[in-house]
Structure 1
């Protein structure tokens, strides 16, 4: 099947290729609920050497920049307590860590989580972290622009492969909170 976005000729419903996903992502796909059917979560195989957004869109089409999202893990700290949260923003933007994220988490300080923490706690590979299958107790902050995009390309849990799903599905993920202004224009920062 051809993917609804990008130049991918071989999109496969994620429930049909669970072995290509990390265990947390595969478990989330198996347990999928919501208004978007699980077979609308599509997996496309990609080269792990070009997983980073800038290189990826150069290879697969610049139009994907506005139709792809990054999922980053942040650590909010207040006193001795640290809260890990995931943030999903369009790839053409950056996460407003010190504004929207810090305020939403009620943290005094917020920063991107260390790579070892992000990968170890999520069970996913660096450069492939996805909001699908994250720990249930993590806040999941999703920029409204992602939800308003018809189809969104996001990591699959591994550097190899991506998932494509309707933007509205992000609002239905466990723990999801949709926020305006979570993603800030890169040129503004």
Structure 2
């Protein structure tokens, strides 16, 4: 069920990578009748994020076409090869253009098939009900994505570059962040056998 949108929140879908280990764009893999990129955008909208930004890079035209039927605004990262950090900055910059008063920014990957709108909406609600600078999914003993940050962290997110994505920010604020248990977070689609396993339902 779609939740009422919080217009001061945005979800940034990080969909710019080349998926070299998969051998084909994981953003365009289909599961249950939709691409992984479109699915991530849909989950963000259903979770109640007011804005959804899909950051493209490799295969930008195809990924853009895949999310065209969603509410997402596409932001292209021309320097996608330098790593996910730049895509974090590009997506957040686009969100701030659309909503200068933005208070919350969530970051979502396209390769976590067990992510649900419920997980995202609970994370956003938990952050709003706290004084923490952000909230991150907890799985396999680490904090990772999806993650949602308050506006006071935005300057650091906007300065990110390189292969580590938002990891430096997660590590810096680890003791202050809320941790949200996400049991299925450790399974992602990196290799062909991961996708085959997903399709088999195992």
Select the structure that is richer in helix.
2
Please indicate, yes or no, whether the TM-score normalized by the shorter chain is above 0.5.
Answer: no
